Structure 1
Amino acid sequence: MSILAFLLRTIGIGGCAFLALYVYDWGLPGASRVPYLSSIPIIGDLTTGRAHSYSADQVRIATATQRAQCDARLEKTVSTFQYDALAAQLAEERKRRLIADLLTTEASKRAEAAVRAKSAAEAALEARIAADTGADGGRWTEEDLKWDGKH
């Protein structure tokens, strides 16, 4: 109380009003370093000041906005990573499909050649059977029995 009386005698009521408004607007220097002092409703406004409280609120809002933007970018980045992984997987599947198609084509060609060879062998056999006009009448000869014994 004696400090207030001293201030009133020294600078007058106008000066005290000016100091009170200055402290209300800008706060007490160094008082913001005291922990939890700014969380007390009326004393907190006087110690930290209205300008500092407004600045702190703006920083909190900007920080929340930046955090939301960062989270959105992170989510998009993960989506981009997933997209790249799926694109690589699709390219690998297409490559494997092309190889499978080539192998299928080659196998089809070999199968067709085998069918043609079988048809030619059957035709040759039929021709040999038709050409066999011997007197044995399709009986086993001595040569046939030797061959059958070896195989």
Structure 2
Amino acid sequence: MSAIVAFLLRTIGVGGCAFLALYVYDWGLPGALRIPYLSSIPIIGDLTTGRAHSYAADQVQIATAAQKAQCEARLEKTVSSFQYEALAAQLAEVRRRRLIADLLTTEASRRAAAAVRAKSEAEAELEARIAADTDPDGGRWTEEDGRWNGKR
């Protein structure tokens, strides 16, 4: 390694070596970006990848993180609005079923009241027919009773 540095010092001088060192520091070694994990080593990574490439990679990471955060926020908002719409649809369905149940309950109550009214009318009519029966035997046989009795 020292032989290479001595050769460069004799060939291009101190100014040339300083220029090469600054160029390598700024732009990195050509092809060093293709070596995996070399850029993650603290000092060697800066020298091999270069300050410009490291800065660009950092800016890409920052922009990517910002865009990812915005995308996740939109996704969260979308999921929240989807959940809201699903809950609203579920609530509308529950209200619709509640209305149907209320209508059916009202109809059943009306039918029950009509049935009670018909029963009381039938009982009143039966009581009236019983009261109207004044035979000394306590009852009259009708023609229908005779036919029914004959079948026995």
Unaligned runs of 5+ in 1: none
Instruction: Give the letter for the 2:98 counterpart.
Output: R
Map of 1:14 onto structure 2:
15
Map of 1:42 onto structure 2:
43
Pick closer, same or farther for the CA change 1:100–1:142 going to 2, 3 Å. Answer: closer
Map of 1:96 onto structure 2:
97
Post-superposition Cα deviations, 1:42-89, rounded to whole Å, max 9, x if no partner, equal: 222111111211222222233333334433433333333332222222
Map of 1:107 onto structure 2:
108
Instruction: Give the letter for the 1:146 counterpart.
Output: G
Map of 1:54 onto structure 2:
55
Matches of 1:43 and 1:84, distance apart in 2: 55
The answer to which of 51-60 and 105-114 deviates more is 51-60
CA contact (8 A) 2:133 2:139 kept: no
Aligned residues: 150
| TM-score, scaled relative to structure 1 | 0.76
Pick closer, same or farther for the CA change 1:147–1:108 going to 2, 3 Å. Answer: farther
Instruction: Give the letter for the 1:131 counterpart.
Output: A
Tell me the CA shift for residue 33 of structure 1: 1.6
Matches of 1:35 and 1:122, distance apart in 2: 100
CA RMSD across the alignment: 2.9
SS at match of 2:30: coil
